[in-house]
Amino acid sequence: MRSMGGERVTEAVEGAVAALRAGVDRDWSKVRAGRLEWDCRRTAEHIAGDLFAYAGQLAGRAQDAYVPFDIVLEDDAGNEGALQVIATAGVLLAAVVSTTPRQVRAFHPYPFRSADREGFAAMGVAEVLLHTHDMAQGLGLAYEPPAELCEDVLTRLFPHVRPDPDHWRTLLWATGRGDLPGRAPVTEWRWSNNPVIPTARITLQGVTPAAATDLRLGGTGGFEWLDGGPFEGTRDAAGMLLKAYAAGVHRPEWGVFVLVRTEDGRAVGSMGFHGHPDEEGRVEVGYDLVEGARGNGYATEALRALAAWALAGRGVRTLLATVDRANIPSQGVVTRAGFTRVSEDEQSYAFALDG
Which of 141, 174, 207 is a domain's end point? Answer: 174
180 within a domain of the structure (yes/no): no
Domain count, the chain: 2
Q: What is the reported pTM?
A: 0.96
183 within a domain of the structure (yes/no): no
% of the chain residues with pLDDT over 70 = 100
1 within a domain of the structure (yes/no): no
Cβ 263 vs Cβ 293: under 8 Å: no
pLDDT at 112: 93
Report which of 275, 273, 291, 283 is spatially closest to residue 232, judged by C-alpha positions: 291
Cβ 57 vs Cβ 108: under 8 Å: yes
182 within a domain of the structure (yes/no): no
Residues facing residue 271 across a β-bridge: 257, 287
% of the chain residues with pLDDT over 90 = 98
**CATH number of the CATH domain containing 243:** 3.40.630.30
Residues 202 and 152 in one domain: no
Q: Is the pLDDT of residue 314 over 90?
A: no
pLDDT bucket at 288, cuts 50 / 70 / 90: very high
188 within a domain of the structure (yes/no): no
pLDDT at 334: 98
Which of 109, 142, 174 is a domain's end point? Answer: 174
Residues 154 and 274 in one domain: no
Length, in residues, of the chain: 355
Residues 23 and 91 in one domain: yes
What residue numbers bound the domain in which 17 lies? 6-174
> In sequence order, which residues have a C-beta less than 8 Å from that of residue 31 and are 6 or more positions away?
39, 40, 138, 139
What DSSP character marks residue 48? H
- Express each pLDDT in 145-178 by its tens digit: 999 999 999 999 999 999 999 999 999 999 999 9
Cα–Cα dist 196/120, whole Å: 15
What are the strands, taking DSSP E only, across 207-280? 224-225, 256-261, 266-273
- Express each pLDDT in 25-73 by its tens digit: 999 999 999 999 999 999 999 999 999 999 999 999 999 999 999 999 9
- Express each pLDDT in 100-113 by its tens digit: 999 999 999 989 99
pLDDT bucket at 250, cuts 50 / 70 / 90: very high
